[in-house]
Amino acid sequence: MRKAALAVAAGMTAVLAFAGAAAAAIPFGQNQVGIATYYNDAGFGACGTPINAATEMLVAVSYQWFTTANPNADPLCTGVSVQVTYNGRTITVPVKDKCPSCDATHIDLSQAAFGQFASTDPATTPGVLNVTWQFVGGGDGGGTTPPPAGRTGPITGLAGKCIGAAGGATANGTAIDLYSCVGSSTQQWTMAADGSIRTGGKCMDVAGSGTTNGTRVQIYDCNDTAAQQWVYTSARDLVNPQADKCLDLTGNTSADFTTVQLWTCTGAANQKWNVPA
């Protein structure tokens, strides 16, 4: 939790001092050296959107980086992400919140994001990591970095129907479901060169980076994690390598509104997909 993590971090001095951050432009691509803690709060983040730091991949950055009186309107909340490196591993997570007690080089990762690097069990880890990080664009389809190139078009499954973001919504956590192909924007997917599958500025995502059968597959801010990597095989399976499981239509049905999930690859028809050529 944030309170526990900050308590652990109290009295620590950042490796890289910073002055005047509140008045500075976002320094995209400039390495910062500092610490990462974690929190698991739920509610509304400083950027004005609902968050659940226990299960979602996101980051809160120091209040010193925010430059507007209303944080919801801050440039940090317009598709900016933080790329974090620890012990040779790198993840990219969107800025969704403000840390009111962090100095400029201290970032507060969501528990889900911190868990990509280390255990969040207080019995086995102190909850503080020495990291390098930098601001990057493109956290949720905005920012300065354009999405990677790829093939765009519908993804079809059983009965020739399309999968898309449920109800045409693009909020984080929106389910992906099967529906008659109607040409809506969220039934258009880009098979990107980086292994992600994108629609509406978001990525096809395994909820909570889960690996078990029945794990929900949703759309979420693109964050360059293993939960958003997919491989299309010659057998027409869409496989998440981290879980070594397939994108699967729940209940083996072609009914409209059937949602997708992760499931052990079986070769069944409800795991067969036609993707953009």
Q: Quickly tell me which residue has 């390495």 as its tokens.
A: 31
Longest distance between any two alpha carbons in the chain, whole Å: 61
**Pick from 70, 9, 69, 17: nearest CA to 39:** 9
Q: Which helix (H) or strand (E) element contains residue 86?
A: strand 80-86
What DSSP line would sit under 36-72, residue for residue? EEEE--EEE-TTSSEEETTTS--EEEEGGG--SSSGG
Residue 216 DSSP label: B
Per-residue pLDDT of the chain (277 residues; tens, 9 = 90+): 443 344 334 333 333 333 333 334 788 888 999 999 999 999 999 998 899 898 888 899 999 999 988 888 888 887 788 989 998 888 888 899 999 999 999 999 999 889 888 888 877 777 899 999 998 865 443 333 455 678 899 999 999 999 999 998 888 899 999 999 998 889 999 998 889 999 888 899 999 899 999 999 999 988 888 999 999 999 999 999 999 999 999 999 999 999 999 999 999 999 999 999 8
**Pick from 205, 150, 146, 154: nearest CA to 180:** 154
Q: Which domains does the chain have, with CATH numbers?
A: 2-137 (2.40.40.10), 150-271 (2.80.10.50)
Q: Please give the model's pTM, rounded to 2 decimal places.
A: 0.54
What DSSP line would sit under 147-196, residue for residue? PPPEEEE--B-GGGPEEEEGGG--STT-BEEEE-----GGG-EEEETTS-
